[in-house]
Structure 1
Amino acid sequence: MSVKHLLCLCSLLLPCSAFAFYGDARPDAPDLAATGTYSVGVRTEQLVHHDQLDILATPPGQHHDRALRVELWYPASLRPGQQPGTTYTDVLGAGANDPKRPNTPFQFAGRAVRDAVPDPEGRYPLVILSHGYPGSRLQMSYLTEHLASRGYVVAAIDHTDSTRADKAGFASTLLNRPLDDLFVLDQVATWARPNSGHWLAGKVDVDHSALIGYSMGGYGALLVGGAGLSQVAVNFVPGGALQRLQAGNPEYAKLHDPRIKALIAFAPWGGRQGFFDAKGLAGLTLPTLFVVGDQDDIAGYSDGVRRLAEGAVNADRYLLVYQNARHNVAPNPPPPAASANPEDFSAYSEPAWDSTRLNNLNQHFVTAFLDQQLKGQDRSNYLTLVPRAIDGQWKVDAQGKPLLGHTYWAGFRNRSAVGMEFYHWPAAGK
């Protein structure tokens, strides 16, 4: 596909803007929002998690084979003359049988190359991404493509019973999120073995993995990280199916996987609802970046995500706050097709924020955090900030060298760091 044809395609699939792809950096984007040096490939895999409890079945106690679709982005080696670009297909709606929000297919352009050859050099850390309820594996493609361009392999899951196409009973999401995440981790580890015969053989450093979750994906990420459920949560689903995820349950402790080294939780659900109490939060020990809007009316802020971040005292915690933002701080911008239905549009958009701006900020902070946690790169300048961006002082000389008293957020251009807060709480005893 020529660049001319690609741009024509993008004009049909994206809103009118100066950006060819979701995630392209605005001129005021912070440093690490810039696309990395790697070309990006993308492939789809179909998985089956055998003999899993079907929590929605009647009568209870039945098991089934749980199908999962996974999208994988990775550093790629393009052929001479091969241009970036692919078309993703997703759906709008909130389940298969909602007449007010019918499943409406839509397409959008991405910078990845479908089925490209993986980069022959190096092994790359793994990032697993878990969407909201409902959502899809493509919901945050701006971030998945960005991370692949920066030297990560990213596996985004379509969680069965939890996508916009197949949304079903909430109990399935509550039980299966952490189980799906860990199953995909195991599957990628199998593929990554040097002699596996898979196209990812020898390409993934699974021992340095992270989990990114949005909303219910954030709930699942906290469980993978060790924050067990409260009795309130266990009582929420009849029959005790969530007991295996309860804090203090030896069966839950067996789920903890040392290959997961860090978490990123965008607007994680469960704090306001009492699903994580002090005992459960004490079990979270992984470095965690929380991201939230201070007007989040779904996950909650002071009684929700901030309470989770402050309460997980045994973890090294960062909290990025978008002032005047609600719950949709993580997804791609609204696709043009969503303009036909206000509820579909509001599932992606933020009333007080430009989505492209939020995407760039997320790219910057997620990259800084993962580079430090998974690659051992020193990104402390990007993660050691005055708490309120507006309080940062811009003091540089004519060559741009910081002077005494310069406290402006690192990586941000003058006058661009506004509307945000950033906090860091070290783990207890550190």
Structure 2
Amino acid sequence: MTQFKKFWLGCLSGLWLAVLGGQAPMAQAAERIYISFSLFERSIALRDLEIFAEEGRVQGSLGAYTRFFDDQQLEQFRAGLVAPIDLTPLSVAQFLYTPVGEGLLQRAGQVVRPKSGQGRLTALRSALILGAADPEGLTALSAIRNFPTQGVQVDLRSALGIFESAQQVLQDTQLAVKAIQAEPSVVPEEDLIARGKTLQVQGAYAWQKQTLKLNDDSVKRQTYTGRTRKFFADLYVPRAKADGPRPVIVISHGFNSNRETYAYLAEHLASHGYVVAVPEHSGSNTAQLQALLEGRARNIIKPTEFLDRPLDVSFLLDVLEMRSQTDPSIGPLNLEQVGVFGQSFGGYTALALGGASLTFNQLYEDCAQLRNTLNLSLLFQCQARLLIPKPYKLADPRIKAVVAVNSIGSSLLGSDAYGEIEVPVMLVSGSSDTVAPALSEQIRPFSWLTTPNKYLLMMVGGNHFSTIGVPATDDQNSIGEILDLPLGGPAPDEARQDLKTLSLAFMNAFVTNQPQNLEYLTPGYVSTLSQPALPLALTQDLMLEEAAAEE
């Protein structure tokens, strides 16, 4: 268990103590946690929590609650109260003063606030920053102790409302996943399964990797963003001489990632004859978050990053077009039939390149309801509100196929924009994704697609990080640690293998025009790849209304 998870365990365990009830006396102590539900209120003395954390001794108001816990739960609660997080006050402040951090504070402020009811966001932010400056570090106990008011109030009605909303989303997601799993399928012939093995293993081509240093000072970039853009890109190029122009695939990484994140996929595709180009989006990579936490950046991303990312890919293709004519180590290339793969923020990037345009009216409407959302990615999407609302031409006609994994864009793009996409699309979703929730960000958007060649691949139990190749599990400053997000998922090796197999089949079918690969994009074939730890399901035609009615 990470230290950050222990920290939140301490906070949540304290909340559950209150939920279980008791007859704690209402003493007039200066440092108390007040638990309220409508007109009813009980309290716990902070000193009682401190004694329990330091000595393991239960006394006073705490005793009315601990009887509901067994010894193991009590020990976990005690450890959670004092588990430190290795974040500096500056790092905490930098994150909490971003719009995303403030959005999270607003959501938390509905449950935890000063007893006076005044300055809830300021008080929460201050408690976390001062807690990080405490000699013992940022812990659940130090955050409570540094709450800048005499009492901390926990509103159980709001907490239960959030819980009920989450339960409804979970139920709706489960119904949709069941509908996908119920898709009629025919067990494929043995020879098809045997032929499919070639997709799963390394191809016949050896490849070489080279890195390009790019500087885009084009008129379009300057017009859209007001500045030039410098970034790197890795190329994976098959060594063998080609009979003709080689097909090209671009991989766009997610936020707080880099061009190594999907290196395993780039290598796999290159071994099957593709030239794979992997740009590093310099305004939303790992270095950008590090700069924020060290005080060298003012926000998680600049709003123009929603424009810069697709522009990165288009500029990279322009450079490849020029260099492929003069550099024998790269070309010749077929840049009229390009495939693009993206994960999370990269999924948005891929969809925008494939034809989806920014939809500001939908974005403004959804972002006005941020305090009620359970969709963490919406906090991120709403940064685009600061863009000048005008048409942006981000689609690239060279893109002929899109694979978007854990994609975001339900509000940023909206239903009409998904309907604008004409190229084949495969959305890949994890049913347990808490960052870009499957129902909001992939399942419903899939139903908005009107392109005849659309696929939704569901990794049942998969999360936002299931297919990432280089999860920063030990990086205390990673976004996963800051937000307590589960890095990795069930059966990560299987998730990556399945992604390699089906991405290759999809690109073969729609980039290099090998229609025989459509045989692998069926519920029957996908079922042969399923593992008990990570079941797979595929659909081309999901009707959400029918799924709800069947229940």
| TM-score bracket relative to the smaller structure | 0.5 to 0.7
Instruction: Mark the runs of 5 or more structure 1 residues left unpaired by the alignment.
Output: 1-28, 78-118, 246-251, 387-407
Offset, 1:238: 5.3
**1:139 maps to which residue?**
261
For residue 229 of structure 1, give the secondary structure of its aligned residue in structure 2. Answer: coil
**2:311 maps to which residue?**
179
Contact 1:293–1:327 under 8 Å retained in 2? yes
Residues 338 and 348 (structure 1 numbering): CA distance in 2 closer, same or farther, change over 3 Å?
A: farther
Offset, 1:234: 6.1
**1:157 maps to which residue?**
279
Contact 2:224–2:307 under 8 Å retained in 1? no
Cα distance in 1, alignment partners of residues 527 and 520 from structure 2 = 5
For residue 165 of structure 1, give the secondary structure of its aligned residue in structure 2. Answer: helix
Contact 2:358–2:412 under 8 Å retained in 1? yes
Cα distance in 1, alignment partners of residues 359 and 473 from structure 2 = 41
1:8-407 residue pairs with structure 2 within 5 A? 31-51=198-218, 63-77=226-240, 119=241, 121-167=243-289, 168-193=300-325, 196-197=326-327, 199-202=329-332, 204-232=333-361, 235=364, 236=382, 237=384, 240-241=387-388, 243-245=390-392, 252=393, 255-271=394-410, 274-334=411-471, 338=475, 343=481, 349-351=487-489, 353-377=490-514, 378-386=516-524
CA deviations on 1:254-312 (whole Å, 9 max, x unpaired) are x43332110000111122xx222222121111100111101211111112211111111
Contact 1:349–1:355 under 8 Å retained in 2? no
Cα distance in 2, alignment partners of residues 152 and 383 from structure 1 = 20
**2:128 maps to which residue?**
none
Offset, 1:340: 10
CA deviations on 1:318-355 (whole Å, 9 max, x unpaired) are 1111111111133105367559988299878334x122
**1:81 maps to which residue?**
none
Cα distance in 2, alignment partners of residues 174 and 298 from structure 1 = 18
1:229 is aligned with what amino acid? L
Contact 2:238–2:270 under 8 Å retained in 1? yes
Instruction: Mark the runs of 5 or more structure 2 residues left unpaired by the alignment.
Output: 1-195, 290-299, 365-381, 543-551
Moved more, 277-286 or 148-157: 277-286
Structure with more helix by fraction: 2
Offset, 1:240: 4.1
Cα distance in 1, alignment partners of residues 401 and 329 from structure 2 = 26
Cα distance in 1, alignment partners of residues 251 and 482 from structure 2 = 22
Cα distance in 2, alignment partners of residues 369 and 186 from structure 1 = 24
Residues 385 and 256 (structure 1 numbering): CA distance in 2 closer, same or farther, change over 3 Å?
A: same
Contact 2:324–2:331 under 8 Å retained in 1? yes
Cα distance in 2, alignment partners of residues 200 and 418 from structure 1 = 38
2:237 is aligned with what amino acid? Y
2:402 is aligned with what amino acid? L
Contact 1:331–1:348 under 8 Å retained in 2? no
Residues 298 and 355 (structure 1 numbering): CA distance in 2 closer, same or farther, change over 3 Å?
A: same
Residues 241 and 54 (structure 1 numbering): CA distance in 2 closer, same or farther, change over 3 Å?
A: farther
Cα distance in 2, alignment partners of residues 44 and 121 from structure 1 = 25
Aligned residues: 317
**2:65 maps to which residue?**
none
Contact 1:293–1:322 under 8 Å retained in 2? yes
Structure with more strand by fraction: 1
TM-score norm. by structure 1 comes to 0.66
Offset, 1:43: 0.4
Larger gyration radius, structure 1 or structure 2 = 2
TM-score norm. by structure 2 comes to 0.52
For residue 64 of structure 1, give the secondary structure of its aligned residue in structure 2. Answer: coil
Offset, 1:169: 2.1
**1:424 maps to which residue?**
540
Offset, 1:376: 1.8
CA deviations on 1:391-413 (whole Å, 9 max, x unpaired) are xxxxxxxxxxxxxxxxx647649
Residues 409 and 279 (structure 1 numbering): CA distance in 2 closer, same or farther, change over 3 Å?
A: closer
Cα distance in 1, alignment partners of residues 434 and 308 from structure 2 = 24
Offset, 1:62: 7.4
Same amino acid, percent of matched pairs: 24
Residues 346 and 73 (structure 1 numbering): CA distance in 2 closer, same or farther, change over 3 Å?
A: farther
Residues 120 and 371 (structure 1 numbering): CA distance in 2 closer, same or farther, change over 3 Å?
A: closer
